[in-house]
Structure 1
């Protein structure tokens, strides 16, 4: 893929030059967010034996988001000199405006359940979980096992993204100027980190599940592996490299979709035989990467329909609000229905999903977009086109 048409010289104060919107990628954000939601709700409402194997890999939707973040940021900023202090300041403001309004609100909505879980927990988890009330608003909780998943668990990925944003001005030139060397180093780092984490988990949490561990030690070690920003950094760099590759090589969209489907089928079939660390921390990029490249090339079809694109625009809110929505449904069920939804899992999951979707639309319209515009206006004329944002 060559550079997209429609890129014009950057206007004074603009975060980056105008770019052609990649509407199919916006729509795919909803697919990934819904995949994560289905993964969580399946585990919340249904016995593990009843969960189909493809749903069991739903956590990989976060790998999609990390890849897409790198790809879209590179697409938006490849013509920007981020060595210039003003450009970096505009980039940071655009990122804060994009992420923080809904992020902080989602944390606030989850506080009542954090208080209840902290009260029921024992040291050392109790103190670590309580610390998330301070660490999470600062975006630091992913660094601290025990705190990383305490206050609205999906928020850990925003903490990781903030690290990506901090490193982006350094990483983007490397990915664009020396993609081969950067890819080799990234693959080597990912392999070494995944191998070390797999060995550590096998040694210190034998027989435990990385996805759903039990016991204080396994829980803390699993969180240190799953949520640590440095262990997830290769996925973001892979997204940058994916954009660099798209500028040099074009593969037909149908071929990319076929590659994505084959990789997905292969991953589902091989999942029981692969280390959980490798699957959780990036291997599923084999399926997501060709799908992102295909989406970037699409200019027609269902994924660019206005309704689907709107769902993509509310996907960030959906991703962050679906856990509090479940907690609210669960609490109301116990308080008003005596826990009857446990025997009606499809009804419970449907109610939680409908609530999450409704909240997402409201948050997008009433909080996310208005707050983003106000933050950008407060910084002067800097603006970032919403459709191409990750």
Structure 2
């Protein structure tokens, strides 16, 4: 029987992995459910009930970063990206999938800002925010005073940062010659994330003092500055999240080298995720608050990703699941426009909030699938000069 690496060489390209589509659909559903609970329900006022759903959003985004590393390493690991031509093809393939639908929705967001505020360019930092959004670098820097013109797009900006480093990172990951080495590399990446989180926890007073010096305009509102710094440093910036991406790359290398996890690994990983999502933690445990913003779920997610790649679940072949997986980027980006408006139709504190949440999620999925079909996929084919469907299914 051919192993994954042998199949790759025999056919000239990696075979399609249906299980990853199921993983991607689960990740985007987790983010969508978490946002619906926060935006369209009264649950934020009930911390004990809302906490697992808020963690669900964090878990889903971590899943995207792990999966992104897996998919890129799986697709490009056997063919190093070299030379300006190779780098250009890689960059075109990545941005052609992201930029068209992103720029369309960014334009919608900016139009809404101009309609509501009239002269937004007079707001300090607005033009800087627009430039950062256009170049997808908004999550790379901490600019507390600048208003965000498209807050949800931070995850795409963080992904673009990963793409810049991938041609370098893949050389090291592809050089791992054994399953033990690949496993150790993934564990080392996650260990580095935990170590960085520990450093942030230990040096938080010094980090906040630096932020106060760098942003004196917010000295009169220190709680707000602390919240912005904490969110950027531990959640939205690419510097802590990079280790999840590398763990996904190492997991893909383990898969290519023939790593076949035991059948019990998938249910064990799912059980661990459920425990991490549902079991309450002390509210004053600062280190845990940092950890759950990035690397807490990554080990179980990497194990689940490997298991589903080897043994695709039956639901992964479902037509709706396939559509959701293929439209995951568009579904994620369209949430502010298709999900949040439902709170104006049904009061989140009224008796119909379950209807608002379900209708909003259904509308978001439908809008995302339509965007993927009529904007995202056609634009990617046009920019890349390809015809027909992208056989490799490379998406966020």
Find the partner of 1:164 among 162, 166, 169. Answer: 162
Greater mean deviation of Cα atoms: 317-326 or 184-193: 184-193
Instruction: Tell me how far apart the structure 1 counterparts of residues 166 and 19 of structure 2 sit (CA, whole Å).
Output: 24
Instruction: Tell me how far apart the structure 1 counterparts of residues 18 and 341 of structure 2 sit (CA, whole Å).
Output: 33
**1:5 CA drift (Å):** 6.1
1:195 matched to 2:198? The reply is: yes
Greater mean deviation of Cα atoms: 110-119 or 133-142: 110-119
Find the partner of 2:335 among 303, 318, 322. Answer: 322
For normalisation by structure 1, the TM-score amounts to: 0.82
Greater mean deviation of Cα atoms: 31-40 or 341-350: 341-350
In structure 2, what is the equivalent of residue 245 of structure 1?
A: 254
**1:148 CA drift (Å):** 9.0
Instruction: Tell me how far apart the structure 1 counterparts of residues 147 and 15 of structure 2 sit (CA, whole Å).
Output: 36
For residues 52-101 of structure 1, what are the alpha-carbon distances to aligned partners after superposition, in whole Å with 9 as ceiling and x for unaligned?
54323122211101100010101100111212332222111110112111
Instruction: Tell me how far apart the structure 1 counterparts of residues 274 and 331 of structure 2 sit (CA, whole Å).
Output: 26
In structure 2, what is the equivalent of residue 268 of structure 1?
A: 277
In structure 2, what is the equivalent of residue 362 of structure 1?
A: 370
1:138 matched to 2:138? The reply is: no
In structure 2, what is the equivalent of residue 75 of structure 1?
A: 74
For residues 259-296 of structure 1, what are the alpha-carbon distances to aligned partners after superposition, in whole Å with 9 as ceiling and x for unaligned?
21232133235551461111111110122111101111
3-state SS of paired residue (1:19):
coil
Indicate conservation of the 8 Å contact 1:80/1:87, yes or no. no
Instruction: Tell me how far apart the structure 1 counterparts of residues 381 and 145 of structure 2 sit (CA, whole Å).
Output: 31
In structure 2, what is the equivalent of residue 209 of structure 1?
A: none
For residues 280-313 of structure 1, what are the alpha-carbon distances to aligned partners after superposition, in whole Å with 9 as ceiling and x for unaligned?
1111012211110111113461212333212210
Structure 1 portions without partners, runs of 5+ = 11-16, 206-212
In structure 2, what is the equivalent of residue 281 of structure 1?
A: 294
Output aligned runs, 1:1-390, within 5 Å: 2-3=3-4, 6-7=7-8, 17-45=12-40, 46-48=42-44, 49=46, 51-58=49-56, 59-114=58-113, 127-128=124-125, 131-145=128-142, 146=144, 150-178=148-176, 179=181, 182-183=185-186, 186-201=189-204, 215-225=223-233, 226-248=235-257, 250-252=259-261, 254-268=263-277, 270=279, 272-273=281-282, 275-299=288-312, 301-330=314-343, 333=344, 340=347, 342-343=349-350, 344-377=352-385, 385-390=391-396
For residues 121-167 of structure 1, what are the alpha-carbon distances to aligned partners after superposition, in whole Å with 9 as ceiling and x for unaligned?
9x9xx634663222112011002334898233221011011111111
Instruction: Tell me how far apart the structure 2 counterparts of residues 320 and 362 of structure 1 sit (CA, whole Å).
Output: 13
Instruction: Tell me how far apart the structure 1 counterparts of residues 222 and 360 of structure 2 sit (CA, whole Å).
Output: 25
Structure 2 portions without partners, runs of 5+ = 209-220
Instruction: Tell me how far apart the structure 2 counterparts of residues 159 and 170 of structure 1 sit (CA, whole Å).
Output: 19
Indicate conservation of the 8 Å contact 1:131/1:147, yes or no. no
Instruction: Tell me how far apart the structure 2 counterparts of residues 381 and 89 of structure 1 sit (CA, whole Å).
Output: 19
Instruction: Tell me how far apart the structure 2 counterparts of residues 254 and 119 of structure 1 sit (CA, whole Å).
Output: 58
Instruction: Tell me how far apart the structure 1 counterparts of residues 224 and 36 of structure 2 sit (CA, whole Å).
Output: 24
3-state SS of paired residue (2:293):
helix
Indicate conservation of the 8 Å contact 2:124/2:146, yes or no. no
CA-based RMSD: 3.4
In structure 2, what is the equivalent of residue 210 of structure 1?
A: none
